[in-house]
Chains A and B, each alone.
Chain A
């Protein structure tokens, strides 16, 4: 997989953004940018250049699920892989995210191994589709 993928990390807690950024860095993905909620993320995504989105669910302004729905509803962005990393662990919410077209779902607190596993799975699927 291309380690130069440009990844947008969306979380309202700056510490969590740093942790995700560091973990991605350890996995070789250093081309990242950050946004503190969906509202901030949206114009960044619209400006283009991102290959992957890692987003929290519960954020003020615009939530991660709304951001996901906005991405899937946008002609230009609808194919963008979205990984949700959230403390929301209710069955209904996981189903809602799946229906909205999420590509992976990680429940906080999580480990570096889980993050790697989910990323690998998403890339594997995308490569299968591309092949």
Chain B
């Protein structure tokens, strides 16, 4: 890659080093004709000669522009940018979008699964509260056992039923906890996918910087603040986004009379 860059540099140097004015003799001839028309006070001829001279100048500009375009195209080709950029734009970026969509879906599915289990666990807790209520009732009936010992058998059966329910609830909660824990496995997969996309973004950044350098000799790419009217979105630690914390927001609102 370095050799190719040197190659471009030398081409640029050649262009800059060329000392003579192109078509020097032609310019001298045209200028003499223009001067003689002016001296002869021939208005029509003067205009015609002047136009010819300007056309000559324009043609030179176009030739140079065409040459520059060809060189730029060649430089991009030499650096394999055509293929690389085509590959990035044609397949890797759409591919990354599909991957990121998948990450969003995985996260959403996991969140719903977890929330489903939370809802189910709430219902189980309600049942557990019911069991506590039943045990309270049983306790209140305990003194009656002394008077009529046979009642002890009924109470023992009722306690067995409550115990059975509590075991079931406990088992169901245990299953729910492992479901919640397992639902977090998406994080590993989504983490891997996101890392790959980060690598792709770095590749694109590198390719664009090289392209900038090749087409804009000596001009360093500068970070330009993106102003596109879009919302800033979540504050990300480590990025200077000017995002406020809840405390900052509270203080700001207090200042505004909230």
A interface, CB within 8 angstroms of B: 13-15, 18-19, 22, 57-58, 87-91, 93-95, 98, 104-108, 110, 114
Q: How far is the CB of B119 from chain A (nearest CB, A)?
A: 8
Chain A hits for B234, CB < 8 A: 87, 89, 108
Chain B hits for A94, CB < 8 A: 244, 249, 252-253
**Is A106 a contact of B246 with CB atoms below 8 Å?**
yes
**Is B111 a contact of A15 with CB atoms below 8 Å?**
yes
Specify the chain A residue showing the minimal Cβ separation from B250. Answer: A105
**Is B115 a contact of A18 with CB atoms below 8 Å?**
yes
Q: How many residues of B contact A (CB 8 A)?
A: 23
Partner of B258, one of A98, A106, A114: A98
Specify the chain A residue showing the minimal Cβ separation from B110. Answer: A15
Interface residues of A, dominant DSSP:
mixed
Chain B hits for A108, CB < 8 A: 234
**15 chain-A/chain-B pairs, Cβ below 8 angstroms:** A15-B111, A15-B112, A15-B115, A18-B112, A19-B115, A22-B118, A58-B231, A58-B233, A87-B233, A89-B235, A89-B245, A94-B244, A95-B256, A98-B252, A98-B253
**Is B232 a contact of A89 with CB atoms below 8 Å?**
yes
**Is B231 a contact of A93 with CB atoms below 8 Å?**
yes
Bound together, the chains give a CA A110 to CA B235 distance in angstroms of 13
Specify the chain A residue showing the minimal Cβ separation from B258. Answer: A98
Chain B hits for A110, CB < 8 A: 246
Bound together, the chains give a CA A60 to CA B246 distance in angstroms of 24
Chain A hits for B244, CB < 8 A: 89-91, 94, 107
Specify the chain A residue showing the minimal Cβ separation from B231. Answer: A58
B interface, CB within 8 angstroms of A: 108, 111-112, 115, 118-119, 231-235, 241-246, 248-249, 252-253, 256, 258
Bound together, the chains give a CA A93 to CA B119 distance in angstroms of 34
Bound together, the chains give a CA A15 to CA B113 distance in angstroms of 10
**Is B233 a contact of A95 with CB atoms below 8 Å?**
no
Q: How far is the CB of A116 from chain B (nearest CB, A)?
A: 13
Chain A hits for B243, CB < 8 A: 89-90
Bound together, the chains give a CA A22 to CA B108 distance in angstroms of 17
**Is B252 a contact of A57 with CB atoms below 8 Å?**
no
**Is B108 a contact of A15 with CB atoms below 8 Å?**
yes
Bound together, the chains give a CA A107 to CA B253 distance in angstroms of 13
Chain A hits for B235, CB < 8 A: 87, 89, 107
Chain A hits for B118, CB < 8 A: 22
